[in-house]
A and B are shown apart, each in its own frame.
Chain A
Amino acid sequence: MKLRTLTLGLLSASTLAFAAHAESITIATVNNGDMVRMQKLTDDFTAKNPDIQLQWVTLEENVLRERVTTDIATKGGQYDVMTIGTYEVPIWAKQNWLLPLDKLGDDYDVKDIIPAIANGLSVDGKLYAAPFYGESSFVMYRKDLMEKAGLTMPDAPTWDFIKQAAEKMTDRANGVNGVCLRGKAGWGENMAFLTAMSNSFGARWFDENWKPQFDQPEWKNTLQFYVDLMKANGPEGASSNGFNENLALFQQGKCGMWIDATVAASFVSDPKNSTVADKVGYALAPDNGLGKRGNWLWAWSLAIPAGTQKADAAQKFVSWATSKDYLELVASKEGWANVPPGTRSSLYANPEYQKAAPFAKMTLDSINAADPTHPTVKPVPYVGVQFVAIPEFQGLGTTVGQLFSAALAGQTSVDDALKQAQDAATATMTEGGYIQ
């Protein structure tokens, strides 16, 4: 009798415990303004889905990439939703590491996702990650300095114009550099900028047969132009400047022009942090008259690893965070200027958003000007505008980035850097079995 009572008690207790236990999903993310804002707004999600609890893991971008790769490759199952970029999505989807997003709900409106972004996140027509915010790159410039130089920035400048403007704006005695560009070595740092720039010069990483192309004149033109431009008009120590370093310089009024991520617009135009907030103008990334512009395409996106046990709850969350309703939620709480940009066409048609974000049209035009499947003038065998979506690219891109950074610092010549880049790329591609 006693035993039976005890068993019954235990059984009912465990049933109760099970019923009361809400499903908890773990989301891995990076620390940027839009993601932090989302964490603050999750009450809306939990109110709509009381049976799902959210756990957040915020990590530095490189650590996140390493953690998430380790976990997904070993099927560790630590994360149910992960924040990844356009570089990872095609590679991981092909490895069957990600679940296709096919249960986002009836009112999700997948077609509203900006086509350039959706293409970058799809493999064989299936969406494998939902964009949380998208970005391209463009020119940010100081309207006052441009006027002082007696020039007018066109909406779609050429590289020659950028050079001319940089020369006129540079005033080193007063701490003004004509142009600030990335120089810090890394596949996501200087190589993101230089690869996008090289597209507008007609260069490509590989030809149709995966043969590296650093020995071609297009790359020589790109790198020589970049090094000359920066030596004459760039800030001191530019070879160690990345996004954040250039952002600090621009906000302090030390750059005439800065070509970088469109997301920077919301920082440089914020009067709380920027001393030049009311003097910033925007233009498309430069070109060379070859039909391609030097701007990139990136989207921080939410994806679901194949190892998760909670796929349904995870899809519900992804759907909520990347929906039209979420954009409206942010607008109602924090204003339209703080809505995550670059994901939905409907946002750019919204007059309230256009009013709150003066850089909106230029951002959309920049995103639309990038084509991940035809990034440069000549045909290529890879996907990606400022990267090559193959697993080898992280390592190779960083090696080449170090060589080009050394050329900018004057430690090697442009020719030597290109020759070494060609050798490194040939070795990597031979080892990977792409070429004989």
Chain B
Amino acid sequence: MARAVSTQHKTIATAAAWIVALLIFFPILYTIITSFKSEQEAIQGFNLFPSGTTESYIAVEAQNGYFKFFLNSVFLSVGSTILALLVAIPAAWSMAFSPGKWTKDILMWMLSTKMMPAVAVLFPIYLIFRDTGLLDSRIGLMIMLMLINLPIVVWMLYTYFREIPGEILEAARMDGASLWKEIVYVLAPMAVPGIASTMLLNIILAWNEAFWTIRLTTTEAAPLTAFISSFSSPQGLFWAKLSAASTLAIAPILIMGWFSQKQLVRGLTFGAVK
């Protein structure tokens, strides 16, 4: 009897999970469907079965050229993630294994920077970028993306490192390992899953960042967020083209997310970052 109830619960839970997942994924699915419609089909109300035309993709590519934006997106998301890990791994290590009196406060303070609306610092940042010649440069934007995602990276790594018993590191130290060796040969291998999921999440965050990437770039460093933005029109219905541009922009990250979902789920469900 008890078994029957639990099976029933399981079925309901699974069905509910599917419904929620479909609801969340539906806008993306409909974007992909719309991208294979003609402009006239796109505005003619709800329709799940497109004619399958690829004219929007051809028009989008001809108008703006996808590849340059794509390369910038890859460079910025991967570059900023590597940069963030270089800073965050030592920071999280010290906070997790030799916490001081202020560690908790520092962590909270770091997180609090994420609570400020980005637009509040648009002008100061713009002026700094102007004076340092970093406007529309990949390096400048990479540093910016690294900085805005750093709090999350440090938090994720911190919560992950905290699950590693300090005794193992102590043992390594007793065996004469230096600090560097301790991090590279003992901590890092154990923390690989945590670092990997942090890396994946950060790449996704950097890929989708659409405030600074649009405002600090013009032509050279503009990534896919700027590519999508260029297809939004105040006068004229270009829904199919906009959908095609969006599909092209999210496809790489969607595929990457699909293949690495195990790591991602793990990264998102441990510790304080949920």
Residues 236-255 of A, flagged 1 when their CB comes within 8 A of B and 0 if not, give 00000001100110011000
CB nearest neighbor in A for B43: A248
Chain-A contact segment, one of B122-130, B147-155, B173-181: B122-130
- The verdict on A261 contacting B235 (CB below 8 Å), with A63-B229, A272-B40 known, is yes
The distance in angstroms between the C-alpha atoms of A55 and B65, with both chains bound, is 13
Chain-B contact segment, one of A5-13, A29-37, A227-235, A359-367: A29-37
Chain A residues at the B interface, C-beta cutoff of 8 Å:
26, 28, 30-33, 36, 39, 55-61, 63, 66-67, 70-71, 74-79, 188, 243-244, 247-248, 251-252, 261, 263-264, 267, 272-273
CB nearest neighbor in A for B119: A66
- The verdict on A74 contacting B229 (CB below 8 Å), with A63-B214, A79-B218 known, is no
Is B269 positioned at the interface, with any CB of A under 8 Å from its CB?
Answer: no
B229–A76 touching, CB < 8 Å: no
B235 partner, pick from A56, A76, A77, A263, beta carbons under 8 A: A263
B63–A36 touching, CB < 8 Å: yes
The A-contacting residues of B in range 188-232, CB under 8 angstroms, are 214-215, 218-219, 222, 226, 229-232
Is B44 positioned at the interface, with any CB of A under 8 Å from its CB?
Answer: yes
The distance in angstroms between the C-alpha atoms of A348 and B45, with both chains bound, is 37
Q: How far is the CB of B214 from chain A (nearest CB, A)?
A: 6
B229–A243 touching, CB < 8 Å: no
Chain A residues with CB under 8 A of B40: 272-273
Is B256 positioned at the interface, with any CB of A under 8 Å from its CB?
Answer: no
The distance in angstroms between the C-alpha atoms of A31 and B64, with both chains bound, is 11
- The verdict on A31 contacting B232 (CB below 8 Å), with A57-B219, A252-B43 known, is yes
The A-contacting residues of B in range 221-255, CB under 8 angstroms, are 222, 226, 229-238
A251–B43 touching, CB < 8 Å: yes
B214 partner, pick from A56, A67, A75, A247, beta carbons under 8 A: A67
- The verdict on A78 contacting B135 (CB below 8 Å), with A57-B222, A244-B236, A261-B235 known, is yes
The distance in angstroms between the C-alpha atoms of A267 and B236, with both chains bound, is 8
Chain A residues with CB under 8 A of B222: 57
Interface centre among A33, A77, A188, A273 (most CB of B within 10 A): A273
Chain A residues with CB under 8 A of B238: 31
Chain B residues at the A interface, C-beta cutoff of 8 Å:
39-40, 43-45, 63-64, 122-123, 126-127, 130, 135-136, 214-215, 218-219, 222, 226, 229-238
Q: How far is the CB of A333 from chain B (nearest CB, A)?
A: 15
B219–A55 touching, CB < 8 Å: yes
Chain B residues with CB under 8 A of A30: 233-234
Chain B residues with CB under 8 A of A71: 126
A74–B130 touching, CB < 8 Å: yes
The distance in angstroms between the C-alpha atoms of A3 and B193, with both chains bound, is 55
Chain B residues with CB under 8 A of A56: 219
Chain B residues with CB under 8 A of A75: 130
A252–B44 touching, CB < 8 Å: yes
B130 partner, pick from A57, A61, A76, A244, beta carbons under 8 A: A76
The distance in angstroms between the C-alpha atoms of A16 and B218, with both chains bound, is 28
A26–B218 touching, CB < 8 Å: yes
The distance in angstroms between the C-alpha atoms of A273 and B236, with both chains bound, is 11
Chain A residues with CB under 8 A of B126: 70-71, 74, 76
Q: How far is the CB of A397 from chain B (nearest CB, A)?
A: 16
CB nearest neighbor in B for A249: B43
Q: How far is the CB of B136 from chain A (nearest CB, A)?
A: 6
- The verdict on A32 contacting B235 (CB below 8 Å), with A58-B230, A74-B130, A251-B43 known, is yes
